[in-house]
């Protein structure tokens, strides 16, 4: 959304004293745009909003208008700030996600409504940060990202990203490594969100490289080690100024430009997470030849201090000439079986994180804190803070605790 669009949206926002039963004047084409941009048909949209299809059709034709509660539900269903639905015309659309996924998915270009919704949520959250910043409530200007090109050696690029983020090389647990990288990225003005609504088969992550406050989205259904690699991979995309939708497929020979970028980002991420100088200090690595028959257990032990997976470590070893593609192809089914077993265990386990922990994780802890600071500084209203955090006002204290 442009600055002009944001200003028009703010001016069009309804008065908090507007009676809930009164119809709100809306531009029908904006409602149609909002629904179609998230790829919802009329039946699904009406169900999410809680009205019959005929009512939705009347709104979109201009025969009638939604009242304030209905409009709020529509905004939630379409993953848009309420004010966007009150614009006088559909805004200039954001650039579509560039698709870096493996062949069939990229060729089809299909994105589920769930993935589309998460993309728009990310863009809406970025809009909120920019709005707060324009109102003087977002602190200092974020530092500039390092700039990479495909000609930058991957080892040097990985070291550059790691130094810019100022993150340790070794960690005691993968979850701590992931949390540390996320906190470092957020401290440098990157909006890091997560989602649990999109299947891992469709998306490992995506990035939007627009500055300031570029976006990295991680699939929260993935394991911490995989999410960590995704984060480093998407950071490389941002530094290339080439954001997009990724599934982290491994490419041996890259003919398409998208595959060249994916291969490069994989190698930069591996170099950032598993630096050569740190690996060289491990005796087993130093003595290994290219034909070494690494076992999954050995790979797990080697990967653990870096917070990465056995599969990621094996791919790194292939790149460094300490393992072969033949070994990788032989072990790949075992990696997949281990992932499937872990997913089954996770689904079968009782309990799990609370609603507030998942909510804070998905929105991003830094985003939650930024919105709350703006509210406490009276930059935004109580209705704004609940809308921007997508919770009821009385739920905010528990969400704040989860975001610490």
**pLDDT mean over 377-403:** 93
169-207: b (≥16 Cβ within 10 Å) or e: bebeebeebbbbbbebbbebbbbbbbbeebebebbbbbb
- What's the pLDDT score for residue 17? 46
Bin 148: left if φ > 0, else alpha if -120 < ψ < 50, else beta.
beta
Copy the structure tokens of residue 307.
Answer: 């917070």
Q: Cα–Cα distance between 375 and 384 in angstroms, integer?
A: 8
SS3 state at 215: strand
- What's the pLDDT score for residue 109? 59
> Rounded to an integer, what is the distance from CA 314 to the centroid of its chain?
26
Listed by start position, the domains of the chain span 3-93, 95-272, 274-349, 354-404
Least confident range of 167-181, 251-265, 307-321: 251-265
DSSP E strands: which ranges in 230-350? 245-246
Helices (H) and strands (E) in the chain, counts: 20, 4
| CB count in 10 Å sphere of residue 54 | 10
Q: Cα–Cα distance between 369 and 399 in angstroms, integer?
A: 10
- What's the pLDDT score for residue 231? 98
Copy the structure tokens of residue 235.
Answer: 């950071």
Q: What is the per-residue DSSP string for 219-237?
A: ETTS-HHHHHHHHHHHHHH
Q: Choose from 1-5, 36-40, 134-138, 206-210 the range with maximum mean pLDDT.
A: 206-210
Contact between 170 and 180 (Cβ < 8 Å): no
Copy the structure tokens of residue 22.
Answer: 């009164």
Superfamily of domain 3-93: lambda repressor-like DNA-binding domains (1.10.260.40)
Does the pLDDT of residue 159 top 60, yes or no? yes
Higher-confidence position of 256 and 261 = 261
Q: Cα–Cα distance between 355 and 129 in angstroms, integer?
A: 23
Q: Which helix (H) or strand (E) holds 271?
A: helix 257-273
| CB count in 10 Å sphere of residue 24 | 19
Q: What is the per-residue DSSP string for 283-299?
A: HHHHH--TT----HHHH
Q: Cα–Cα distance between 180 and 340 in angstroms, integer?
A: 27
Does the pLDDT of residue 276 top 50, yes or no? yes
- Choose among 171, 244, 157, 159: nearest CA to 203: 244
Helix axes 365-376, 382-389, angle to 10 degrees: 170
**pLDDT mean over 279-299:** 95
**pLDDT mean over 273-285:** 96
Q: Cα–Cα distance between 257 and 260 in angstroms, integer?
A: 5
Q: Choose from 128-137, 190-199, 351-360 the range with maximum mean pLDDT.
A: 190-199
- What's the pLDDT score for residue 112? 82
- What's the pLDDT score for residue 134? 86
Does the pLDDT of residue 95 top 90, yes or no? no
**Burial group, residue 56, by CB count within 10 angstroms (0-12, 13-18, 19+):** buried
**pLDDT mean over 288-297:** 94
Q: Cα–Cα distance between 195 and 372 in angstroms, integer?
A: 21
Q: Which helix (H) or strand (E) holds 195?
A: strand 191-195
Q: What integer best gives the mean pLDDT of the chain?
A: 87
**pLDDT mean over 282-306:** 95
Copy the structure tokens of residue 318.
Answer: 């292939």
Which residues lie closer than 8 Å to 2 by C-beta, 6 or more apart?
91, 92
pLDDT tens digits for range 202-249: 999 999 998 899 999 999 988 899 999 999 999 999 999 999 999 887
């Amino acid at each position: 959304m442009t600055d002009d669009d944001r200003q028009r949206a703010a001016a069009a926002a309804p008065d908090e004293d507007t009676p809930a039963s009164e119809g709100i004047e809306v531009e029908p084409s904006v409602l149609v745009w909002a629904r179609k941009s998230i790829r919802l048909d009329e039946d699904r949209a009406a169900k999410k909003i809680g009205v019959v299809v005929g009512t939705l059709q009347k709104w979109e034709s201009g025969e009638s208008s939604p009242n304030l509660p209905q409009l709020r539900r529509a905004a939630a269903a379409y993953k848009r700030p309420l004010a966007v639905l009150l614009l006088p015309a559909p805004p200039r659309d954001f650039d579509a996600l560039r698709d870096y996924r493996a062949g069939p998915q990229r060729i089809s270009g299909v994105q589920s409504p769930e993935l589309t919704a998460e993309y728009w949520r990310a863009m809406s959250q970025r809009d909120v940060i920019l709005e707060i910043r324009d109102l003087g409530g977002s602190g200092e200007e974020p530092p500039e990202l390092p700039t990479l090109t495909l000609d930058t050696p991957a080892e040097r690029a990985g070291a550059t990203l790691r130094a810019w983020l100022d993150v340790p090389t070794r960690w005691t647990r993968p979850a701590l490594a992931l949390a540390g990288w996320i906190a470092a990225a957020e401290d440098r003005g990157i909006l890091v969100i997560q989602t649990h609504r999109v299947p891992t088969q469709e998306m490992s992550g995506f990035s939007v490289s627009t500055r300031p406050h570029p976006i990295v989205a991680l699939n929260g259904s993935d394991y911490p080690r995989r999410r960590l690699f995704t984060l480093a991979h998407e950071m490389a995309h941002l530094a290339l100024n080439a954001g997009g939708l990724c599934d982290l497929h491994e490419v041996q020979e890259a003919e398409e430009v998208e595959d060249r970028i994916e291969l490069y980002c994989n190698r930069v991420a591996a170099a950032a997470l598993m630096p050569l100088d740190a690996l060289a200090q491990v005796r087993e690595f130093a003595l290994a030849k290219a034909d070494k028959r690494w076992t999954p257990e050995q790979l797990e032990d080697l990967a653990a201090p870096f917070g990465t997976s056995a599969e990621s470590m094996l791919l790194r070893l292939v790149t460094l000439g300490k393992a072969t593609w033949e070994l990788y192809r032989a072990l790949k089914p075992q990696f997949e079986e281990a992932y499937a077993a872990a997913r089954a265990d996770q689904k079968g386990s009782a309990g799990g994180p609370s609603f507030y922990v998942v909510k804070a994780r998905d929105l991003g802890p830094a985003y939650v804190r930024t919105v709350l600071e703006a509210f406490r500084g009276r930059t935004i209203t109580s209705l704004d803070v609940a809308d921007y955090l997508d919770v009821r006002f009385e739920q905010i204290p528990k969400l704040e605790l989860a975001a610490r």
